[in-house]
Amino acid sequence: MSTATTIIIFYKYVQISDPKTFVALQREMCEKLGLLGRILIATEGINGTLEGATESIAEYEAWMHTLPEFAGLWFKSSPGTGDAFKKLVVKLRTEIVATGLSKEQDLDPNVTTGKHIDPDELKRWIENGEEFEIIDMRNDYEYAVGHFANSKNSTMANFRDLPKIAAKFEGLKKKKVLTVCTYGVRCEKASGFLKQEGFEDVYQLNGGIGTYMKQFPGEDFLGSLYVFDRRMTEQFTDKYMVIGECTACGSKTERFGNCAWHECHKQLLICFNCAKHAKGIWCNDDCMVGAASGVPIR
């Protein structure tokens, strides 16, 4: 038997009428197949990432495809490491990605969302020198370790900052804009939100940055792709340039640590050398002062 493992990422916005039962069903199937990872379920859909033996993952995918609402579900897969996740978490949530949108702002991506374009199409846009702007919908620490050349950083600390970005990119309302994120799920609502806020020409990258990188390794995207498991980053070629910079010393690194202010604990790029020798590294002076005074400043 092969010991190779595979990691899959998948999502779908689709009405789930009995999410509680679906949580139990998913947990049962994952446990039976020995899969680890994280699945979030809400009445609006499912969002998951799992690792398991390659044949068990194939079995999971085949099972999901037998469920009518997930018949065509797209599983984005990568080679596993065998220890990408410590445990299995299957949770019931109100949203499959926490957006920070109010009830009035929230939307159904099946109704309101940016036009999906495939990596091929984006490649054409880039090669033809088309006029458009890429807005990266990921968090600032994800952007720091890798991003599309000339893309705009939304500078979100967390995706719950989404409501704030419309004002930030006000100047792009009449421009052609493309939203990007890791494997696509955040763009479903982020691009829809921009449309709702009056952005006129909004697209989203189908399958996300990971799918683009897989198809065009080492091209157009600089650095590495941040991923939410113990791999921390994902690469699709050895020929790439590290663009991440240590928060403390500025040297090139892809190593993540955390802000030393316990109330913050935000992920930061911290090189091996600084991690070993520095007493504490903070996001900024506010966090350093916070750590010294012990008073929460947020």
Instruction: Give the shortest CB-280-to-Zn ion separation in angstroms.
Output: 10
Q: Which of 181, 259, 274, 283 is catalytic?
A: 181
Task: Tell me, yes or no, if 187 is annotated catalytic.
Answer: no
Q: Return all residues near 122 (Cβ < 8 A) that are at least 6 apart.
A: 178, 205, 212
Cβ distance to Zn ion smaller for residue 193 or 282? 282
Please say whether the dihedral angle defined by the alpha carbons of residues 196, 200, 205 and 206, taken in this order, is positive or negative.
positive
Cβ distance to Zn ion smaller for residue 29 or 288? 288
How far is CA 36 from each of CA 22, 23, 235, rounded to the nearest angstrom? Answer: 17, 15, 21
Instruction: Give the shortest CB-249-to-Zn ion separation in angstroms.
Output: 3
Q: Which residues bind Zn ion (CB under 5 A)?
A: 246, 248-249, 259, 261, 264, 266, 271, 274, 283, 287
2: left (phi over 0), alpha (psi -120 to 50) or beta: beta
Cβ distance to Zn ion smaller for residue 222 or 246? 246
Instruction: Give the shortest CB-294-to-Zn ion separation in angstroms.
Output: 14
How many angstroms separate the CA atoms of 124 and 132, rounded?
12
Give burial (CB, 10 Å; 0-12/13-18/19+) of 113.
buried
Instruction: Give the shortest CB-225-to-Zn ion separation in angstroms.
Output: 22
Cβ distance to Zn ion smaller for residue 126 or 278? 278
List, by residue number, the catalytic residues: 181
